[in-house]
Structures are given as C-alpha cells and as structure tokens.
Structure 1
Amino acid sequence: MSAAPLVGYSSSGSEDETEAPAAAGRSKPRSGGRRCGQNSLPTQRFPVPDSVLSMFSSTEEGPEDDSTKHGGRIRTFPHERGNWATHIYIPYEAKEEFLDLLDVLLSRAQTFVPRLVQMEEFHLSLSQSVVLRHHWILPFVQALKDHMASFQRFFFTANQVKIYTNQEKTRTFIGLEVTSGHAQFLDLVSEVDRVMEEFDLTTFYQNPSFHVSLAWCVGDACLQLEGQCLQELQEIVDEFEDSEMLLRVLAEQVRCKSGNKFFSMPLK
C-alpha cells in the first residue's frame, strides 16, 4: 500500500508561526524605511556613528530559517512580513486512555523508525494551510462562522492506522483514519471550501483522508513503516482495551488558527 498524501499539513518550520509568505501575484508591502531629505543649509555634514547605522541594518531581513530550532522540519516557503499562515480543523482532545494507547503504538513504531516523535497536539484538518493578509483575518473568520452556523455536532470514529507524507515528502506521519463520520466531514469541507473560494484561496484536497496524526519524523519513512510495522500497529489498536469506545469522538467545534490567533466556532 502506498502512503496517502497528508491532509492539511505543511512542512513549515514552526507550529507557532505568526506570519507566512505572500500569495502568488500579490505585492509585497512597502517597507518602513525612512526617506532622506536634502539639507538646504551649506553646513558641513558629520559622519553618522556606526552605532546608529547598525540600528537599521536588519529591518528588511526575514527570520533565520534554522531547522534545528523546530525538530529538523524544513520550511517550504520563505517568511514574509504581513502574511499569516491559516488552518481550519476540528480539535481532538486526547484523554488519558488515548495517550496510553499512543505510548504503546509509538514504542512499537520506533523499533522500525527510531526518530519518530509524538505529536504535541491532535486534530483533524478541514483545510490546507493557506496564507491570509492580516486585514483579511477577521472577515475570513466571520465568513467561516456564517457557514458553520447550521452544522450539528456529530460522532466520528478514527481507528484505522495509516501512513502519510506531506506533499514534499519531507515529513512522514502515522495517523488514525476516520472510519465513521466521513460524510459529515465532507459536508464541513464543502462549506470551508466556499469560504476559501470567496477569498481566492486554495481549497481542500480531492478525496481527502480525514485522520488524526499521532507521530511524525523528518524525511520519507514510508518503506520502513508500511508492511509489517503497519500491520503490527493495527493489531495493537484492534486489541487495545475498549478501543472501540475510546476512538469514538464527539465533534463539538471547528477551530481556525491564523498565526498565533485562535478562533472557535461551536457546532449546534
């Protein structure tokens, strides 16, 4: 079985990015550089001290893209000031029993790929990561709230182990795919896509595999994780005590993360 494409994740450097690159075709905002005027007085000009010149030496420089600061993840686009990475998803609240299951799964998977690490938080994506200008954020969120207003809460089950990669194949994930509730997720994505189209943004993937990512590693580790490893991980899930009830979850809200801002849209 070939690895499924990862739904809704980018390989950008940090989960806490507050800004992202400009969309194609959109102009870069003007810098706040200072304009120099001519001096009408015929007085002698004194040299500007180095300490003053150095104050403005880095105003046009972006942040250093050091992958060692975020687990070796590789940024797939350059940082540009004034743009915000934005993502729509349903949060997955991990209970103690879920974390117990995850410990067993990760321990077994690390015998095949030792560099795997646990996800810091869990969710199911309803959009790709897109770019918003700062002044678009509030109108975008309001449009989302309008489109989400009629949706009811629903239960879904995620208990099928699958291996995913991002589009660039720079990161590999172990996930639990949704096996019930798929139709409700498609309805939500349909409304999210309408909002994306209103703002001329990229819509979601065709035939998406809705899932909760459990662990990840840098690079393409599909060959090591599929086959025997995948079979053993599925057996652990199937045999785990009360796994059927443990992995049946109530979807109660849709959440939007834009840079370091979070917006919640409760379902009815």
Structure 2
Amino acid sequence: MLVGYSSSSEDDESEAGGDAAAKSGSKSCPRKCQEEEDGHSCSPVRKKPKTEEGVTKARLPLPGCLLAMFPDEVDPDTEDSCIHGGRIRSFKHERGNWATYVYLPYHPEDEFKELLEELLSAAGTCGVALTSQEEFHLSLSQTVVLRHHWIQPFTQSLKAGLANSKRFVCSAGRLKVYCNAEKTRTFLGMEVCTGNVQLLDLVQVVDKTMTEFRLDTFYKDPSFHVSLAWCVGDKTAQMEDCIQELQRLVEQHEEGPFVLRLDCVELRCRTGNKTFCFPLKQ
C-alpha cells in the first residue's frame, strides 16, 4: 500500500551520464572520420555510466508525512513475540486487515488497583507470573478481521442497532481462569454476577452486525468477565491450584468483599488503531 518513493538524484545522474556520453562522442569524431577514410570501421569508445562502474546510489529516506498516511501498516519486526511479552498473534497480520472487537470499558478505581497488586503477588508466590492488563474491559465480541473499506459500514450498522439500547450497571466479584482457543495465553478474570440479561441483549445487536459481514459471532453461552491479568501459555492447571487463595483476597479485602462495578454507559469498537464510541441511552 505504501507509495513508492525514489530520489530525483537518480534522474539527475542519468542525465549527467547522457551528457558525458555525448561529450565523449563529440571528442572521438575526428578520429572516427580518419578511421573511415583509412577504410576501417570502429565505434568510438564510450564512457561507462556510473551504474556500470558499481557506484552505489544513495536513496533518500521516506518522508515522515508519507509514513503518517498509513498508520495501519505494521513493521515486520512487530510480529516478533519477544517485543510483546511473548504474546503470539491469533492470526497473522496482513496489510489492509484490521483486528476488531467490541467491548464495554472499565475504568478502575484505586481500591481495584490495590487488590490487583495483591493478586499478582499471591499468584507469583504460587509460581505463576502474571502481567496486569494495560486496560480493562468486558468483551462483547470475539476478535475478528475487518477489511479497511468495511470499517465505516460496520460501525454504522452497530450504531443503528444500538439506537434503543439503554444504560445499566453490572457487577463482578468471582475470580475465574480463562485460556484462549490457541492455548497461547491464560487469563485471570472476574466474572459478572449481575447484569447478564442486559449484556446478552447487547451481544444480540453485535452478533447481528457480525452476521451481516459474515464474521464470527460471540460464544453461545458466554461467561462475561473483565480480564485482570495474563501469562503466556496454558497455565490453567497452575492457576486453578491457587484460585481459592486469590479468591480469599477478594473476599477479605480491607473494606469487605470487593465488588467490581461496571457502569455500562458506552459501548466501544476498536479496529486497528481506531476506537469508535457508541453512547447508550439514559
């Protein structure tokens, strides 16, 4: 997709080479005429262009303005799992394909952050090194692939479907272990205990849009949750061994059992590096 860009110096050098050849030809003219008079036919000696002399041409760097025009292009090095904490893509990146998912954002409070630190420490004591999520959300779709030209109609379809969806509150308080289908990552999540009916209604709207674009719909019997932390590989067994100890930390928090409260006022769709927001009705 990137527009090819080459230095104008290449053209300049070609023109310079042509001038040199012309000059060389003009200098050899008397000799050529003399050779023809002597009955001999030979071509004048031409100076080799710079490219034939093995001279390497320096190409100008691609201007930053052009690079900024294509934010969805990913450098091949970004496929290296080493620079992503060992995480592996569920599907290989291809130009023009945008990873897309729909979710409800969760904005953590200080109490949540303190609890999370305790959970990470306790899991480490049990031999499982967890990494905190960079941001927290409740998924309402699987991660699917959108072509770039689908983004606008896809988000318009979501907006139309959510026109009558109302705000609500859901809560979570029970820890649960999750592992992705590829068995490449294990998650510690907090499962929703209230608000499931409203969440299922939202999933129906999202699934309708997914079906329109022939994309995978959500799980048939979803376990709605907010992922707290993750680790590489399938560590389900190790996590299950210490889940009761972690749950005890939730139940015996400083000010009583911790309950994660999620105010569902806005649904979001992230596709590539773009985020679309859909406020719910009051």
Q: TM class by shorter-chain length? A: 0.7 to 0.9
Task: State how far apart, in whole Å, the 2-side matches of 1:89 and 1:118 are.
Answer: 18
1:242, distance to aligned residue in structure 2 (A):
4.3
Higher RCO (CA 8 Å, separation ≥ 6 residues): 1
Structure 2 stretches of 5 or more lacking a match?
6-21, 23-45, 63-72
Question: What residue number does 2:253 align with?
Answer: 240
Q: Conserved in 2, the CA contact under 8 Å of 1:161 and 1:174?
A: yes
| Aligned residue among 63, 72, 76 for 2:76 | 63
Q: Conserved in 2, the CA contact under 8 Å of 1:158 and 1:180?
A: yes
CA RMSD of aligned residues (A): 2.7
Measured against aligned partners, the alpha-carbon deviations of 1:65-121 in whole angstroms (never above 9, x if no partner) come to 211111011123222111111110000110111111111111111112342111111
Q: How do 1:178-197 and structure 2 match up within 5 A?
A: 178-197=192-211
Q: How do 1:19-30 and structure 2 match up within 5 A?
A: none
**Number of positions where the alignment pairs a residue of Structure 1 with one of Structure 2:** 228
TM-score w.r.t. the length of structure 1 is: 0.77
Identity, % of aligned positions: 52
Measured against aligned partners, the alpha-carbon deviations of 1:16-40 in whole angstroms (never above 9, x if no partner) come to xxxxxxxxxxxxxx88679xxxxxx
Task: State how far apart, in whole Å, the 1-side matches of 2:137 and 2:205 are.
Answer: 18
Task: State how far apart, in whole Å, the 1-side matches of 2:92 and 2:57 are.
Answer: 29
Question: What residue number does 2:279 align with?
Answer: 266
Question: What residue number does 2:223 align with?
Answer: 209
Q: How do 1:219-238 and structure 2 match up within 5 A?
A: 219-227=233-241, 229-238=242-251
Task: State how far apart, in whole Å, the 1-side matches of 2:229 and 2:187 are.
Answer: 6
Question: What residue number does 2:86 align with?
Answer: 72
| Aligned residue among 147, 152, 167 for 1:133 | 147
Q: Conserved in 2, the CA contact under 8 Å of 1:62 and 1:79?
A: no
Amino acid across the alignment from 1:258: T
Does 2:173 correspond to 1:159?
yes
Amino acid across the alignment from 2:156: Q
Structure 1 stretches of 5 or more lacking a match?
1-29, 35-42
Measured against aligned partners, the alpha-carbon deviations of 1:146-198 in whole angstroms (never above 9, x if no partner) come to 11111111111111100010101110010000111111111100110000011
1:123, distance to aligned residue in structure 2 (A):
0.2
Amino acid across the alignment from 2:280: L
Greater helix content: 2
Q: Select the structure of larger CA radius of gyration.
A: 2
Amino acid across the alignment from 1:63: P
1:267, distance to aligned residue in structure 2 (A):
0.9
Task: State how far apart, in whole Å, the 2-side matches of 1:100 and 1:55 are.
Answer: 47
Does 2:232 correspond to 1:218?
yes
